[in-house]
Structure 1
Amino acid sequence: MSDASEGPEGAVADAYKGNWVDRYAPEAFKPYFRLSRLDRPIGTWLLLLPCWWGLFLSIAATGDPRFFDIWIFAGCGIGAILMRGAGCTWNDITDRGIDGSVARTASRPIPSGAVSAKQALGWAVAQSLTAFLILLTFNWAAIGLGVLSLLPVAVYPFAKRFTYWPQIFLGLAFNWGALLVWTAHGGSLGWPAVLLYVAGMAWTLFYDTIYAHQDKEDDALIGVKSTARLFGDATPAALRVFLVACVLLMGLAVIVASPAGGTLALVIALGAPLAMGAHMLWQLGRVKLDDHDRLLSLFRSNRDAGLLAVLFFAAACLV
């Protein structure tokens, strides 16, 4: 893993080398952009992709694409950047007493002194309010779901203090978009969206358990809990369970949705869980629990896993 001291001043240890924030952002904004993880876009993708699953599966199910869906698609992208940024900023505020004791997080803006907790709070509020303006363009049912999503976002940073399953709380927050966007398109919540949501939670347990193994030694020293610490050397077996749950639940979501394009659309949509599952199986075959660079690389590869599902759901809309 790269060391922050090898990169530009103020760079965060696990950021992409040569990322645009380090290279091009104005100096005054760099600490705030780093708080929002704009130098590490994988989290934005992981928040965004379930939104797009919900949108395209809803369109495939109803056979009723609308012009407003273009805005839903784009609005999800902007909203994911903003809400992931707000959530990460809130996480860093609540973890400011912990991050300085963990090698991977000690270089973040608050523990490094680049931004105060008060400044970070103002930044979190600004991002949240901007995202709320986007949410207001959706229907009332979706707006209500968007407001409810703040609950798991608020709780998640504290979960690792009282449970070995903080990844469940992350999954509750990160996959909420499947519920919200299904509702934004169709006007009401449906069982396919709920199944897609739970499938996304299994996916989150899969990728974030891989990610958490990077910090397991530091976490044990400071008393922070995670599924990585819970499973230990048995992690590959747990990952297999999460993989199978994700594939089965996503497949069931497709079947319950019954794409309007008939059998061909159903077959295409069922390619989503199969292709995504194949990618997750590839990841599982490459896991080395003590190889931090590989763990980070595999975690980041979940963007491609989630995009495979998006592509198949989108293709099912064309039939």
Structure 2
Amino acid sequence: MADQLIFKIAPSSWTPFLQLSRIDRPIGWWLLVLPCWWSSALASIAGGRLLHVRDLLAFLIGAIAMRGAGSTFNDIADRKIDAKVERTRGRPLASGRVSVRAAWVFIAAQCLVGLAVLLSFNPFAIALGFSSMGFVCVYPFMKRITNWPQAVLGAAFAWGGLMGWAVAFGSLALAPVLLYFGAVFWTIGYDTVYAVQDVPDDEKAGIGSTARFFGAHIRAGVGGLYALSVVFVGAAFIAAGAGGWALAGLAAFAAHLALQVGRIDDGAASALRLFRSNRDAGLFLFAGLAVQALSNVLMQA
């Protein structure tokens, strides 16, 4: 598989650190960058211009770096719990293949890449980016005290819904705020699906999750979260004056989420497959926005 090729190319001594960064699991940075791309594209529509490719590329680099840093920090915080869970006991820190000190150094290196990207933006966007760190820092500990750690993850992962607009305009407006909440509910929904894999182990370890909270009503729970996501994203589109192409992308996004809900069951393999499919759902939405931005510019020419 293409996402495993890096392990064959890189020196074997790098393998534990590449695993810490989840570089072989690109779904994490896809889900982190997509709200950034949505927000940037929505700003392009509102501003009557083409997509800003430089911003999209910067967001991609930043998402890969910061997803890696966040995953490493999460593994530091959860190393003792991970050692008790079948799916995670082989992780570098839980298995002792990487020391905590080395993991902290690796976090610093990844954060420097993210910082370089952030400092390339305007002052407002820089300050806004730094303000997300509170959610990032507390997330790994939320599963110990609440059944809704996914809500904190949503607050962090959806921050790009604000950032794209802030980079474009140096300020915020109603549209990106609505988009942010849409991304928050989307994140809670797909991470609930992901958490289905760990319900038995989480129960043994006393760890909370929305999958445990919804229990037998998980389809209704995820369906409600996805419905809220679609409503808020649609409201964001209306607030920004987005047209038919954007709404077509939203319709494809909503249809994909509806299909997911219909296929949720108790199987771990199914849950992982549905979780990963959210990359495609997010790309459908972005495609609609991208075509809308291009269409608007062509109509003005």
1:203-245 alpha-carbon deviations (Å, 9 max, x no partner): 1111111100100111111111000111111100111101211
> Residue in 2 aligned with 1:313?
289
2:32 maps to what in 1? 47
Question: Secondary structure, in 3 states, of the residue corresponding to 2:93?
Answer: helix
Partners in 1 of 2:3 and 2:226 — Cα distance? 33
Contact kept? 2:3, 2:24, Cα under 8 Å: no
Structure 2 counterpart of 1:134:
117
CA distance in structure 1 between the aligned counterparts of 2:226 and 2:290, rounded to whole angstroms: 22
Other-structure match for 2:41:
56
Q: 1:18: how far off?
A: 6.7
| Secondary structure of residue in 1 paired with 2:214 | helix
Match of 2:257 in 1: 280
Task: Check the 8 A contact 1:21/1:34 in 2, yes or no.
Answer: no
Question: What residue is the counterpart of 1:4 in the other structure?
Answer: none
Matches within 5 A, 1:1-319: 19-65=4-50, 69-259=52-242, 266-289=243-266, 291-319=267-295
Q: Cα RMSD between the aligned structures?
A: 1.3
Counterpart AA for 1:284 = V
Aligned mates of 1:20, 1:179 — CA distance in 2:
34
Unaligned runs of 5+ in 2: 296-301
Find the aligned partners of 2:4 and 2:178 in 1 and give their Cα distance. Answer: 36
Q: Which amino acid aligns with 1:239?
A: V
How many Å separate the matches in 1 of 2:49 and 2:283?
22
Q: Encode CA deviations 1:173-226: one digit per residue, 9 max, x unaligned.
A: 101011111100112111111111100111111111110010011111111100
Instruction: Indicate conservation of the 8 Å contact 2:3/2:25, yes or no.
Output: no
Please identify which structure carries the higher helix content.
2
Q: Distance in 2 between matches of 1:83 and 1:129?
A: 9
Contact 2:77/2:141, CA 8 A, preserved across alignment: yes
TM-score by length of 2: 0.95
Q: Tell me the distance in 2 between the aligned counterparts of 1:33 and 1:100.
A: 19
Counterpart amino acid of 2:167?
Answer: A
Give percent identity, aligned residues only.
45
User: What's the CA shift for 1:130?
Assistant: 1.5
For 2:227 and 2:114, the matched residues in 1 are separated by 34
TM-score normalised by length of structure 1: 0.90
* Residue matched to 2:298: none
**1:21 partner amino acid:** I
Q: Match for 1:294: what amino acid?
A: S
